[in-house]
Amino acid sequence: MAKEKKSALKKNEGVSQSELTNSNAISHIKKKRLESPNTQTLIKHILNKDISALSRAITLVESNNPKHLKQANNIINACLPHAEKSIRIGITGVPGVGKSSFIETFGKHLTAIGKRVAVLAIDPSSSLSKGSILGDKTRMETLAKDPNAFIRPSATGTTLGGVARKTRETITLCEAAGYNVIIIETVGVGQSETTVHSMVDFFLLLQLTGAGDDLQGIKRGVIEMADAIAINKADGANLKQAQLTKADLERSLHLYPEKESQWQPKVTTCSALKNEGIADVWQLILEYIHLTKKNHYFEVKRREQNKYWLIQTIESQLKYDFFNRETIQKEMAKQIELIEQQKTTPFAAAEYLLGL
Ligand SMILES: Nc1nc2c(ncn2[C@@H]2O[C@H](COP(=O)(O)OP(=O)(O)O)[C@@H](O)[C@H]2O)c(=O)[nH]1
Ligand SMILES: [Mg+2]
């Protein structure tokens, strides 16, 4: 056994081989691999719908290396004129409601009718729990194999803002690569719904039967953002209850103020597992697009979103630049100490730091 191990030809099945290889060499190769593609070649291949070029460009967008970011910016600028010809859909709902299962069935429906679908995810918790990504990948197994679908697990980042910016840029890249339906999944917690809402045309909330809003942890704000609510798992013994929940929700939606889009949010039932009611959701979205293109809300919203992202990007860049300055880091610590000793106030300290 010991002798066998020494042979270069021996392959250890199921065992990581990395410790047998020079890790410096690996990182060198990885670096080269990331650096080597020429910007113009990448752009050309992305516009030719080449998935590996698209993936590589997204990796550049997600990188924190300034050189990669510069290359990413050049690619995005070249892609921009080719983007925007898509329908962007945000999907939210509490963990376990069936978002991934829904996207799998919905995505298959879309590719079957000739659409090219890109699925992105915003999950601020994904850097903490890798489990959810793994779970999603297996739930979208058939869609992942579909040549007309592209699934990209969520970018990891230190802040939701960072992840969001990367997702925005990834949308542009996907659109330039010819994907005409972009689906963005978010977990139903925290701020991520607002972020996703600010980058999509249509916002879909998945709900479960029975339980009230409070029980499902859905905030009023999220219901207000929804253009449609689909009650998932409307199958088997659950079907009747789903119909009741639908009527309930319809009643409560009427109490919300009219939307700027002039669209009356719809409630529907579906089963991602049984592929029932899925095509209806797509019909709803088409109705919405038809209405908002006719009343021009569609373009207005996209323009507003662009403005929002401009301000957002400037704000986060300014903040980043400020807090990363060496003098600020040094002086900040001093000022905090002075505040603790009650020798200065937070406002005076802020004024002092901003003036440096
Ligand atoms: N009965 C039924 N179960 C479903 C349906 N959709 C999803 N599920 C199940 O609900 C669980 C959570 O689904 P998943 O797609 O991972 O939810 P996510 O956390 O919202 O992405 C899984 O066990 C699914 O098989 C459905 O339409 N009907
Ligand atoms: Mg999921």
Report, as an integer, the average pLDDT of 330-354.
Answer: 96
| Rounded distance between C-alpha atoms, residue 56 and residue 35, angstroms | 10
CA 355 – ligand 1 centroid, Å: 53
Residue 34 pLDDT exceeds 80: no
* Highest mean pLDDT, choosing among 61-70, 106-115, 189-198: 106-115
Burial of 220 (0-12, 13-18, 19+ CB in 10 A): exposed
Structure tokens at 200: 């999509």
- Which ligand approaches the C-alpha of residue 93 most closely? 1
Task: Tell me what the pLDDT averaged over the chain comes to.
Answer: 85
Report, as an integer, the average pLDDT of 75-79.
Answer: 94
Residue 162 pLDDT exceeds 80: no
Report, as an integer, the average pLDDT of 311-323.
Answer: 86
Handedness of CA 161, 167, 135, 87 (dihedral sign): positive
Residue 218 pLDDT exceeds 80: no
Residue 126 pLDDT exceeds 80: no
Would you state the pLDDT for residue 317?
A: 81
273 lines ligand 1 (CB under 6 A): yes
What domains can you pick out in the chain, each with its CATH number?
32-82 (1.20.5.170), 84-295 (3.40.50.300), 309-354 (no CATH)
232 lines ligand 1 (CB under 6 A): yes
Report, as an integer, the average pLDDT of 227-256.
Answer: 92
Q: What is the pLDDT of residues 259-290, one digit of tens each?
A: 999 999 999 999 999 999 999 999 999 999 99
Report, as an integer, the average pLDDT of 324-328.
Answer: 93
133 lines ligand 1 (CB under 6 A): no
Residue scoring higher pLDDT (259 or 4): 259
Would you state the pLDDT for residue 125?
A: 56
Tell me the pTM: 0.82
Q: Which long-range contacts (CB under 8 A, 24 or more apart) does 222-226 make?
A: 222/92, 222/188, 222/193, 223/253, 223/256, 224/256, 225/193, 225/194, 225/197, 226/265
CA 234 – ligand 1 centroid, Å: 11
Of 5-14, 18-27, 154-163, 173-182, least confident by mean pLDDT is 5-14
